[in-house]
Structure 1
């Protein structure tokens, strides 16, 4: 009888039994200093005490990570993989930044070979930072969607993506139509959604680049495929909000431009959502629409600081994201640090346990993937990030003065980068050196 190869990772293990934004973190987040994760094939077979798992599985290949922290792989819930090559482009407000940098780069994705190169590069860069799942916008070109799904399939990786739809306020070579947006997206759903670990997201870029006709067409498509996600942008900058009001004068607010076209729901991912009206907050809470927090991007482009604790208090599901390339880093560690700083702006100090939850289980829940990824749990995919809590001299000297492992974790969140990643595992395979 064939037995799948077993691998036992030992070290300090991070586990969740609840949402630390809704209950005391001490009661629902735990670090086991002598823990282990048993992997069989692509999935986690057991999580528990290292000595007990070694005894129960003597045939398992053991990899000891010592005092390193074994975490769920990071889940980046809002990115633009086509912006990989232009990340950290200088200075501009959102609309200028799109016109100056983003749209010219996205036009290059008409070349399928270029799309394939960037997709592979992007997944390599994010894996080096411990990210194992992303929800990404593609471009208007169907080949850009194929490129990311194909690159992910080679790695056994779960990604969410979709053709970005725009039929106005964009260059001619980046416009589609209401009909082609519907037709292309429908064809891509049939080709990819639910095949292996691929998940499709219907993707209007944002209301300013879609007419009412196109938004309605995509709302119809979502109603026809309700198991798909829908991703877009919402209330990122104040001048963007004013622009939306001028384009949709009959709308009650920005969110209403999606709602009236069938693009508001629990499987909707709404990136940024900084400048919300009370009605928008009420509706997102009512329908359980997902708000994706993009703090590095918000600061880089001068959008503002999301009051994440206030939205959490309303019960709105929340994810965390780098928003590459509006965000200036591929690192979810840097993104967690920025989320801490944004919350401090509103008088809240997020604990390291809450930040790690946002970057793993929280984002997985936002993507409706909590039964598959986001926690170290039996039956979940073995998507794992291993953090060296003494990765640099600066972090190590801080750790020498710490009184708990949580102090060590917080220092790594605030000062860590890709050097803190000891290893990244995707579907039970180590994909980093």
Structure 2
């Protein structure tokens, strides 16, 4: 039956049922592609997906169908590591990680003590995120609990599925950002107010080992032990200078990862941003605990941090995800993230296929965040988070598309040439949240 809350969209549909593998063509059964498909929404969820010719006969006569046959629909992109509070310092010139923090990040984040500022930036960030086709993300606030309240409130109004956390830091930063004894208590209050509230989830968020004492990290681990439905996000092994600093601060720990292991922060809902300078032993330990590393290619290039080794991750079974890492990242667009990932992969002899890239930004990232029962795929019962892509959005894209003879070529061209102009619409929770200006 069709009701007033149903939406019917006719378009080309692409989704993944599982990992397509590393080959030039996707593994059998991994790709779901309908050249002339129908996406049927009931409220916030997907009711049916399939070939238009097979579903259309079951529709009542005169049913209104949005005709997007010249467009491509995919699940919404998912960003596993991003700092909304750093939106305004994107494209700040010329620093590596530790200088970047001191010169740009810390002064900027001090501004989020002002709740009105946090509200304004929350909405500005979400506008840009949706414009880029990202429907879900795992997000760092600042160390001010109000920055997280503001962001959760903005997400709630838009009915977005988001993971967010207040930064924990009680040393090695400006006094205005130190949370001391209140950090854990503030986190507990935020968890009580927001975790599991609608489509929202809480990520416990120590910034990284150098800015949290062992006492604070142990307390963060206790939060995770008390509630296994929480997430954890932090940074790991991004920069060689950072590794040296951690070794000085934690001389009793065998390596950087062990600092987090000893605090109980490494588990199946843990995301460690970057993971560039890891040994295979560390990768294996992450794999054994089900944690994932957020691969942030544009940020790694911008800060000169190094080359993430996807092949080593695969060989050890360590899960990795794709992320923008704004503000050191240079673009919120998932297309830009995949483009940078391909370019970095080429330098290491590990080129990224379009199949791997788009699977990673959708179902792959959802699986790593334990969200695949809600998002990441165009499938019945899942939440209706998806993007409508104009594959001819620019003259150059249109020209390139006219020379593509296979689906793989078309997707690769999108990965390399598309930007936010290719996002015609972004839908989240069954509602169109962004429509490109025509």
Secondary structure of residue in 2 paired with 1:291: strand
Residue correspondences, number: 432
In structure 1, the partner of 2:334 is 332
Answer yes or no: is 1:140 the counterpart of 2:149: no
Aligned residue among 277, 282, 285 for 2:284: 282
Is 2:72 the counterpart of 1:66?
no
Offset at 1:389? 1.2
**305, 308, 311: which is aligned to 1:309?**
311
For 1:133-212, list aligned pairs within 5 A.
133-177=136-180, 179-212=181-214
Q: Which of 100, 106, 125 matches 2:109?
A: 106
Q: Equivalent of 1:389, from 388, 391, 407?
A: 391
Match status 1:123 vs 2:126: yes
Of 85, 88, 111 in structure 1, the residue corresponding to residue 88 of structure 2 is 85
The RMSD of aligned alpha carbons is 1.5
In the TM superposition, 1:210-359 aligns within 5 A as 210-359=212-361
Using the alignment, how far apart are the partners of 1:313 and 1:359 within structure 2?
A: 20
CA distance in 2, matches of 1:88, 1:52: 49
Equivalent residue number for residue 430 of structure 1: 432
Match of 1:5 in 2: 5
1:420 and 2:437 aligned: no
Deviation digits for residues 144-193 of structure 1 (CA, Å, limit 9, x no counterpart): 1111111011111011001100011110000011x312111111101100
Aligned match of 2:59 = 57
Contact kept in structure 1, 2:363 and 2:376, CA below 8 Å = yes
CA distance in 2, matches of 1:377, 1:387: 18
Shift of 1:2: 10
CA distance in 1, matches of 2:415, 2:80: 18
Alpha-carbon contact 1:44-1:378 (below 8 Å) kept: yes
1:373 counterpart SS class: coil
* Residue 16 of structure 2: aligned partner: 16
Whole-angstrom distance in 2 between the partners of 1:306 and 1:2? 48
Residue equivalent to 2:32: 30
In structure 2, distance between residues paired with 1:125 and 1:57: 36
Match of 2:99 in 1: 96
Q: Aligned equivalents of 2:314 and 2:279: distance in 1?
A: 16
Structure 1 pair 114–7 and aligned structure 2 pair: CA distance change class (3 A): same
Question: Bigger shift: 7-16 or 182-191?
Answer: 7-16
Task: Check whether the contact 2:280–2:312 (CA below 8 A) recurs between aligned residues.
Answer: no
In the alignment, structure 2 segments of 5+ residues that lack a partner are: none
| Structure 1 residues 35-67: Cα deviation after superposition (integer angstroms, max 9, x where no partner) | 121111011001101122222223643112223
CA contact (8 A) 2:2 2:59 kept: no
Tell whether the 8 Å contact from 1:5 to 1:60 is kept in structure 2 after alignment: no
Q: What's the secondary structure of 1:312's corresponding residue?
A: helix
Superposition deviation, residue 395 in structure 1: 1.4
CA distance in 2, matches of 1:307, 1:325: 22
Q: Secondary structure at the match of 1:319?
A: strand
Distance across 1 between alignment mates of 2:387 and 2:94: 33
